[in-house]
A and B are shown apart, each in its own frame.
Chain A
Amino acid sequence: MSIIVARIDDRLVHGQVVIGWGRPLELNRIVLVDAEVAGSDFERDLYRMAVPAGIDVEFLRPVEAPGRLAALADGPDRVLVLTGSVAGMTWLARASNQIRSVNLGGIHAGPGRREYLRYVYLSPEELADLRALAATGVSVTAQDLPTTAPVSLESLAP
């Protein structure tokens, strides 16, 4: 199993991901699944710049992701899978069947969302979506950095 973390973070690739998680977990591949980023040159250029030497980054459209994750799961790389939205990750977990645990890393305030943790704001639909995913056996926890304690989905309260 080489998919080390599957993270939902609306800031996509940033310091917390690269330094906070990448280094202590010795990740060497980040797979960013986002249709818009995959289709935009300037965004790909920028995100690629955020990733230090020693970590490869690839940008996938959702349709390409399940097949690629299946290949990576048997490979030698230590992989972080990243999506910017709850819907993106729950879809990916179901479609690929390669994701055993989901990390809520940064979902910020937005219309219809309530605060659960200082870095996790969810709409009722998103919460239900995550609960349904957890019911299928995927472990869902919130944790912004490896050095902070993980918070389970069940114990999230507004």
Chain B
Amino acid sequence: MKRISDVPKICILLAGCLAIAGCGGEPGADGMIIRIGNGTEPEGLDPHIVTGVPEHHILLALFEGLVRADTTDLSPTPGVAETWEESDDKRVYTFHLRADAKWSNGDPLTSKDFLYAWERILTPALASEYAYLLFPMKNAQAFNEGSIGDFAQVGAEALDDQTLRVTLENPTPYFLSLQTHYSWYPVHQGTIEAFGAKEDRISKWTRAGNLVGNGPYVLSRWSPNEIIETIPNEHYWDVAGIQNDGIHFYPITDGQTEEHMFRNGEIHITYGVPISKVPVYQAKNPEQLRIDPWIGTYFYRFNTLRPPLDDPRVRQALAMALDRDTLCERVLQAGEMPAPFLTPPDINGYLPSARVRYDVDAARKLLAEAGYPNGEGFRTVDILYSTREKNRIIAEAIQQMWKKSLGIDVTLSNQDWKVYLSTTSNAVMGYDIAAGGWIGDVIDPINFLECFITDGGNNRTGWGNEAYDELLAKTMAIGDTAERNSVFDQAETILIEEMPIIPIYHYTHPFLIDPRVRGYTSNLIGYYAYHQLRLDNAASGEL
């Protein structure tokens, strides 16, 4: 008996020791560290596995593609490749890699590393959600679908260690921009295979200390739900251009907490702003608030495999009973635009002609046609969202709109980002209606529309339409922008008629930024150059 009761005391003692040791390890002054709110704990840091914006922010610091983008106008600038040439028919790109390109552990970075990475993301067994972004490359789709077993047939070839040739299926105007996206980043073969097989989705290779990257920063500490710390990569080709001593990412889900930390000077750039704080900052501290344009759309996905949501009329009715204008104007209040279609307007001159109307009467009629007059017999459906205040407010508003105009009952549930991603994945499909959003990876309508190709990794709705897939495939071979846009329009019309998603609003990017931060440029897709950031402490006197 005695011995049993002694156990807890020992545990307490041990815990005490650990706590003290933990405190001792905390560093004191830390130079010029830029602290950035990152919204939520990332799903992971494997560029071939993740799909979200929070992950994108961190991967930008840890990896680099062949080509970077100018942070102002997004035009291609040298990355791992110093120069590149494009063939006359725009189907073949030859990249000349830097001779001094290195991995963060000092290993030389060669064209073979890119081949390894592309083979890995396209390997069917890895089931990468983003594999389709590589499909412009010749035979990449066939390899990913398993109809070609030999990667040598895919249009990527290492002429020598410094020369890489990529052959495309069709001329792809946005091909160079794709290189800024993490699905095209190189990964370090030695590290991946030291911690598991090539096609392991869960592996320890991305842990701090293990991860080897080629970006301006190295992962130095990853404390889940607390902090992700990076320090400058001494092997980075432009190490001299790194203006700060490290970037720290804070995975804070709660916007209020983040705003408090910002006010206390603990964070320099936030992930977002709580909705109700936008007018307050506009009035009191406009220099700290920025509302940048962002090319993206917030929408609700339907699980089209579950009745009654498998009926397009029901989906239409729900979409038409949603008052986007009032929602944007009265609830969101950060300049968001109501979205009657998926693709944000005016990408390469493309403006979709199909639109969802706000028409309660027509919505009621459709619901009655589908067999649910006044919502009778309609089961209670659930709206799932990842834990964020903004998602909750929107869901509560929509819940009531549907209840009032269609007479259907809706419950709300929220899940942590990682859990949410797995619940909504194509393999699980464990939801009725899920709030989601899409931020463009490249500035091209295809990037939005191809999310919903049949069985696409980012589809997550169970919806598929052959005509839609064919139209999008057709756009790949069209060079003329106007003609391409008209095909996009046909595809988007199908999407809006079938309504596997309800477009709700087009994003803006409201966030708070410390006025001392220099070198921050914003652009439509949130492509940042962290190494250019610095703090102008001379300005701190004014604060």
Partners in one complex: no
Residues of A within 8 A of B (CB): none
